[in-house]
Structure 1
């Protein structure tokens, strides 16, 4: 979805007039933010575009992490899984291994019927790593990379 389309989805919960009043800006600016930007378009660069540009300029995702925290969430980047480097079986093994590691950390932390801040931080780190890897795995599956890996593996086995 484009940023102007995201802005437009805000109109479902609040009118452009109410949003403009809440933000202390003109109603016409809200409408401009919700339209595409381009030579033949009447839209205006919106705050989402600017935040994206600022985040890219900083290149460390601290801005996005902060925004996610403001929404009571966490930013976890996707791990890119490349078929040239990651075959299906090692990738699935890695995902299961990371999940087992997370469950082990949870089980170990809960042995004394309490979880310390350090244990919680460790669990969070393992969870974020698993989410990142799993999403990269799903993205690779959606791109069909693993189907290609199976064909390459079959050809290799036939030539051996």
Structure 2
């Protein structure tokens, strides 16, 4: 059944996102999110885990929003190639730029979690103090840039 389910999902994605730039932007964001969750699975430090799990949940909540932006952009200007479709004032180029930045920021957030995993455990941070853990603060800064890029892409489509 897995093959049939994958086939149906791929067909749906092709229809809703196309095969061009909008699909690529969505898939890149999703890969970054998947990577963050993969890194989170390996976290054994309780303090880091307590701080990183809510960030994971917030980032996962962005995926449907990114998908909606990509679907709307594809509805307005279908893309089956690697070229960004032309638009009045170039606003779709700006939307794509923000989507690309959000995918890049998502990858950097996963990287920040990876680096935090391997940071020296000599920080003496108690389990309940995850907000003061500098490792979590670094991840939060990266996650904030992901949120900002997604919000800007949404605003560009609205405006």
TM-score normalised according to structure 1 size = 0.32
Q: Which has the higher contact order (CA 8 A, sep 6+)?
A: 2
- Structure number having the greater helix percentage: 2
TM-score normalised according to structure 2 size = 0.32
Larger gyration radius, structure 1 or structure 2 = 1
